[in-house]
């Protein structure tokens, strides 16, 4: 259910940027979501269709880009993508790891229509 509040935040952000650009319509929104985030694309899309009603963002296409998880072993400094559920370092077998990528969630870009030619 946390996708609802996240989707409302996305709408607020894109509307603010669209206003600055004097946009008449928002047509596309590009989202980057890390593999380790718990957000579900279909849920965000469903809530988007609801919360964007009666705004200049209604009908905008959401584009989802998923980034793979990236971990770093604190022992040998190897950076790697985990293989399934196994988080063990493939180089040294260490389990003292930190997340260095794949937990992102941000708006990369929006496309808008304006009156200017």
- Domain segments of the chain: what residues? 2-67+103-113
- Asked whether residue 115 carries a pLDDT value surpassing 90, the answer given is no
Question: For 45-68, how does the pLDDT look when each residue is reduced to its tens digit (9 = 90+)?
Answer: 999 999 999 999 999 999 999 999
Strands (E), the chain: 25-34, 61-67, 70-73, 79-80, 97-101, 105-113
Question: For 74-97, how does the pLDDT look when each residue is reduced to its tens digit (9 = 90+)?
Answer: 999 999 999 877 889 999 999 999
Of the candidates 29, 110, 100, 109, which has an alpha carbon nearest to the alpha carbon of residue 70?
100
Question: Which CATH code, of 3.30.2320.50, 1.10.3720.10, 3.30.930.10, 3.10.580.10, is assigned to 2-67+103-113?
Answer: 3.30.2320.50
């Amino acid at each position: 259910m946390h996708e609802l509040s996240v989707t409302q935040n996305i709408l607020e952000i894109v509307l603010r940027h669209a206003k600055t650009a004097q946009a008449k319509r928002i047509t596309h929104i590009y989202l980057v979501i890390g593999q380790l985030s718990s957000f579900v694309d279909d849920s965000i899309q469903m809530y988007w269709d609801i919360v964007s009603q009666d705004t200049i963002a209604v009908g905008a296409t959401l584009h989802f880009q998923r980034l793979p998880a990236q971990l770093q072993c604190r022992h040998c400094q190897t950076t790697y993508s985990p293989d399934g559920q196994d988080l063990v370092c493939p180089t040294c077998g260490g389990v003292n790891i930190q997340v260095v990528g794949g937990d992102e969630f941000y708006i990369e870009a929006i496309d808008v229509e304006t009156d200017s030619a």
